[in-house]
């Protein structure tokens, strides 16, 4: 009898841990597709990861996080999207129309959170901002309103300008260009719109010079936001003495005169809340698209000095940061 009891207890000791392991719920897998991780936040942790930690989604503890990065090569996105799908993710996260489209074209069932995208309705990602209706939801920036505001800021910092060149990426769509043109007309400014891929930037400056451009507006695109392109834009605008306004502070740190736009790091962090809601059972179709209500103005005083511009005190007081 004692021998039989010993065998039963020994077997139970072996089986019990196995039952415990099997009883543990599996971790969700978060798949993240980035166009280029170097475009933002080079000196700190990615704000999405910070946001996920804040809502209790921690890599290696409560979730498994899988990254794929295209290093600025759009042609790699479909393959990387397929690799993420092969990892059987619970949810996907991305930003920008090209990476989001790559994920959308790969799955119609796995939830996709869009951290940053302009006008997802126009791109066909969702039916409406209030009722997305499919497997995508997230946050959207308002480029229509922002582009016209950037024209106004250019006139404020350089009151004498009457000709502005606009650099826009051919893959990004209108992005508020009609509204920008209307704002320019109301201010007596002529617009010259140049549709340029990132490798044609220098030629764009040459064409702008032929048309006597007096200022530069750079439309948002992930292709211009690569560090080397940002630096080229800043250097050539300074060379040609063009006051410039861009979408985001990294451009200003690379020589652009001003930027005006939403806090992209905050949008990444906010997208983590969408991830948490979906993990808790919410459906993307029922989660309205959010839009930021606060926008940041950054000014590079060093660039202003090299352009012999005096930035109005009223503008400096409104700036979120003045870079000297």
Q: Are residues 317 and 196 in the same domain?
A: yes
Rounded to 5°, the CA angle 224-225-226 comes to: 95
Instruction: Say yes or no: 214 and 268 in one domain.
Output: no
Q: What CATH number is attached to the domain comprising 152?
A: 3.40.50.2300
Residue 60 predicted with pLDDT over 50: yes
How much of the chain, in percent, has pLDDT values that exceed 90?
72
| Mean pLDDT, residues 98-108 | 96
Indicate whether 18 belongs to any domain: no
How confident is the model at residue 251, as a pLDDT? Answer: 94
Domain identity same for 133 and 164:
no
What's the pLDDT band for 108 if we cut at 50, 70, 90?
A: very high
Convert the pLDDT of each residue in 11-55 to its tens digit.
Answer: 445 444 544 444 445 899 999 999 886 555 555 578 999 999 999
Q: Based on the structure, what is the number of domains in the chain?
A: 2
Contacts of 3-11 with C-beta under 8 Å, sequence gap 24+, read none
- Side-chain-side CA neighbours of residue 256 (13 Å): 29
- For range 192-199, the mean pLDDT: 93
| Mean pLDDT value of segment 163-173 | 89
Q: Please write the tens of the pLDDT for every residue from 143-153.
A: 767 888 999 99
Place 179 in a pLDDT band, splitting at 50, 70 and 90.
confident
Q: Is the pLDDT of residue 222 over 90?
A: no
Closest-CA residue to 113 (of 141, 135, 83, 87) = 135
pLDDT for the residue numbered 223: 86
- Is pTM beyond 0.75? Reply is yes
Residue 119 binned pLDDT confidence (cut-offs 50, 70, 90) = confident
Torsion angles phi and psi, residue 30, rounded to 5: -105, 115
Residue 178: domain span: 143-261+295-323
* pLDDT at site 7: 44
Same domain, 53 and 194: no
On whether both 180 and 276 belong to a single domain, the answer is no
Instruction: Tell me, yes or no, whether 208 and 318 share the same domain.
Output: yes
Q: Is 108 domain-assigned?
A: yes
Q: Give 92 or 6, the one with higher predicted confidence.
A: 92
- Computed over every residue of the chain, the mean pLDDT equals 89
What's the longest Cα–Cα distance across the chain? 102
**How confident is the model at residue 8, as a pLDDT?**
44
Residue 85 falls inside a structural domain: yes
Judge if 209 and 301 occupy the same domain: yes
Question: Which value, in Å, is the radius of gyration of the alpha carbons in the chain?
Answer: 24
Q: Does 277 score more than 50 pLDDT? A: yes
């Amino acid at each position: 009898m004692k021998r039989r009891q010993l065998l039963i207890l020994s077997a139970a000791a072996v089986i019990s841990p196995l039952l415990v392991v099997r009883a543990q719920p599996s971790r969700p897998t978060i798949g993240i597709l980035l166009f280029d991780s170097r475009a933002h936040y080079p000196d700190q942790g990615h704000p999405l990861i910070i946001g996920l930690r804040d809502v209790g989604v921690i890599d290696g503890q409560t979730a498994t996080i899988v990254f794929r990065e295209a290093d600025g090569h759009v042609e790699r996105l479909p393959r990387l999207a397929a690799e993420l799908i092969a990892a059987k993710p619970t949810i996907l996260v991305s930003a920008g129309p090209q990476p989001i489209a790559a994920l959308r074209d790969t799955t119609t069932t796995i939830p996709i959170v869009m951290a940053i995208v302009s006008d997802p309705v126009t791109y066909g990602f969702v039916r409406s901002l209030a009722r997305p209706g499919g497997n995508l939801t997230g946050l959207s920036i308002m480029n229509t309103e922002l582009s016209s505001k950037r024209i106004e800021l250019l006139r404020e910092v350089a009151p004498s300008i009457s000709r502005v060149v606009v650099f826009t990426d051919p893959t990004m769509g209108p992005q508020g260009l009609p509204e920008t043109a209307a704002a320019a007309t109301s201010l007596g400014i002529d617009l010259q719109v140049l549709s340029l891929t990132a490798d044609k930037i220098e030629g764009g400056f040459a064409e702008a010079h032929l048309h006597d451009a007096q200022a530069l507006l750079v439309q948002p695109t992930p292709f211009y936001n690569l560090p080397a392109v940002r630096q080229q834009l800043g250097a050539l605008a300074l060379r040609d003495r063009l006051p410039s306004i861009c979408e985001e502070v990294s451009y200003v740190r690379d020589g652009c005169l001003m930027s005006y736009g939403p806090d992209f790091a905050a949008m990444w962090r906010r997208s983590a809340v969408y991830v948490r809601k979906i993990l808790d059972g919410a459906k993307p179709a029922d989660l309205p698209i959010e839009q930021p209500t606060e926008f940041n103005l950054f000014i590079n005083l060093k660039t202003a000095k090299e352009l012999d511009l005096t930035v109005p005190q009223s503008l400096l007081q409104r700036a979120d940061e003045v870079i000297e």
